[in-house]
Amino acid sequence: MKFDRSMVRSMAAVMQMKMRESMLRKVLNKILSLFRKKRKIVLGIYGPVNSGKTTLANRISRDFLGAELGKVSRIPHETRKLQHIENIKLAIPGKGELLLDVIDTPGIATHVSYRTFLRYGLKKEEAMTRAKEAALGVIEAIKSLDRVDVALLVLDSTKDPTSQVNFIIAGNLRYRNIPYIIVANKIDLPYSKPKTVMKAFSGEEVVPISALTGENIEELYMRIYEVAVG
């Protein structure tokens, strides 16, 4: 078969067009991937008192920034103000990156009494101040829901998950359409029952972890990424 000049010219034009198209596609994909891979969200950590929220926030902070954030204590209502960790870069191999601003919130309780703190050896005055701050902390935690994109509901998997407070928090998150993951924490303890948490919240996403030892934490990071980015 013979090619005349006009055929060669039009073939060259088609090839040039295809090359331009492919370059354009590459550039577009690059721009789209920037949007896809560089999302930023606010991740709120919620839950009842003593479930391990600050321990988890500290683990996230240590894993990504190399420094801890807040004080952990066996005395309830240790966190009484919001604590922020900013610009955590969550990179999931083969998937992309997600920037996180993390908020560790005060434990939510339906009943706060200074008498609880007396049992932990606090003096009456200290206990009363702590109770007042704890009650304000609960309000702060609930108010912070307004600026959260994804939430972790951290539960102590050694305790009965069907408490009023757990259902109130989950109900609030659902009502506000905030996607959330239930974290069944403290699985390092022998009497931990993550399956009981799964049963109580059947049909919901539950990730068992130990914030203290780091067990299964990578799975949680992956799920945060998937819930945020889809």
Q: Where do contacts with ligand GTP occur on this chain (CB under 6 A)?
A: 47, 49-55, 72-74, 76-79, 106-107, 185-186, 188-189, 210-212
61 binds, among ligand GTP, Mg ion, none (CB under 5 to 8 A by kind): none
58 binds Mg ion, rule: CB under 5 A: no
Number of H helices, E strands in the chain: 7, 6
Residues numbered 12 to 31 that lie near Mg ion (CB under 5 A) are none
Min dist CB 211 to ligand GTP, Å, is: 4
Q: How many CB atoms lie within 10 A of CB 204?
A: 14
Q: Which is nearer to ligand GTP, 41 or 52 (CB)?
A: 52
End-to-end Cα separation, the chain, in angstroms: 53
Structure tokens at 154: 């951290």
d(CA 28, CA 34): 10
Question: Are 48 and 60 a contacting pair, CB within 8 Å?
Answer: no
51 binds Mg ion, rule: CB under 5 A: no
Judged by CB under 5 A, which stretch of 79-87, 95-103, 122-130, 139-147 contacts Mg ion? 79-87
Min dist CB 54 to Mg ion, Å, is: 3
* β-sheet bridge partners, residue 85: 102
Q: Which is nearer to ligand GTP, 59 or 98 (CB)?
A: 59
Ranked by CB distance to ligand GTP, the top (closest) residue is: 107
For residue 31, CA distances in Å to 20, 27, 36, 89, 181 come to: 16, 6, 9, 19, 30
Structure tokens at 106: 């005060």
Task: Enumerate binding residues for Mg ion (CB under 5 A).
Answer: 53-54, 78-79
